[in-house]
């Protein structure tokens, strides 16, 4: 686990995040019997995957997305800002139809991504800034000159969470 991961893992944020992600996994498990693709046979193992992302741009704008699929093939996306489900592969047709009529599911995904995920990203970024401050190497100058260097700051940060049958993977990219 990265330095950021180790620092965050010991916080209350981590506990709250894991609880919310378990809830998301349970929501998906409950949905599974009704959203199985038509082509699925009983002897095939069915793997439903979901990925939630939230990002913050350099200008402060934030956004979020959900991606769902079977066996690593993305089938459906959900844009929580405008509550739009978009079919990107025929396997996601049943999922889309079910969730268009079950607003509780999309409401849960919207709340999680627009509230929880954004808050997690903000807190991760706070930890990230602390780590950068404490790990930055000191600079020394032998003489004073005007620098033409430009400070490079992250232009965007992305928090992603992937879950497959109760196994969660998360990361942050800046």
Whether 148 maps to a domain, the answer reads: no
Domain count for the chain:
1
Whether 144 maps to a domain, the answer reads: no
Whether 147 maps to a domain, the answer reads: no
**Dist. CA 106–CA 27, nearest whole Å:** 10
CB atoms under 10 Å from CB of 30, counted, come to 10
Q: What is the pLDDT of residue 153?
A: 40
Whether 139 maps to a domain, the answer reads: no
pTM assigned to the model: 0.66
pLDDT band at 20 (very low <50, low <70, confident <90, very high): confident
Residue located via tokens 């620098």: 147
Whether 142 maps to a domain, the answer reads: no
The pLDDT tens digits for 24-42 are 878 877 776 666 666 655 5
Whether 42 maps to a domain, the answer reads: yes
Q: What is the pLDDT of residue 1?
A: 47
Domain residues for 12?
3-134+153-173
Whether 140 maps to a domain, the answer reads: no
We report the CATH number of the domain holding residue 159 as 3.30.500.10
Whether 17 maps to a domain, the answer reads: yes
């Amino acid at each position: 686990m990265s330095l950021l991961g180790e620092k965050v893992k010991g916080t209350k944020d981590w506990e709250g995040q894991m609880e919310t992600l378990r809830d998301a996994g349970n929501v998906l498990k409950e949905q599974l019997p009704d959203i199985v693709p038509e082509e699925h046979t009983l002897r095939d193992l069915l793997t439903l995957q979901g990925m939630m992302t939230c990002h913050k741009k350099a200008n402060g704008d934030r956004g979020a997305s959900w991606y769902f699929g079977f066996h690593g093939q993305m089938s459906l996306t959900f844009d929580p800002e405008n509550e739009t489900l978009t079919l990107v592969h025929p396997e996601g047709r049943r999922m889309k139809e079910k969730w268009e009529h079950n607003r509780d599911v999309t409401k849960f995904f919207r709340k999680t991504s627009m509230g929880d995920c954004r808050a997690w990203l903000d807190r991760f970024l706070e930890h990230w800034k602390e780590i950068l401050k404490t790990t930055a190497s000191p600079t020394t100058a032998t003489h004073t000159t005007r620098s033409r260097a430009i400070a490079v700051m992250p232009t965007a940060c992305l928090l992603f969470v992937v879950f497959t049958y109760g196994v969660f993977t998360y990361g942050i990219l800046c």
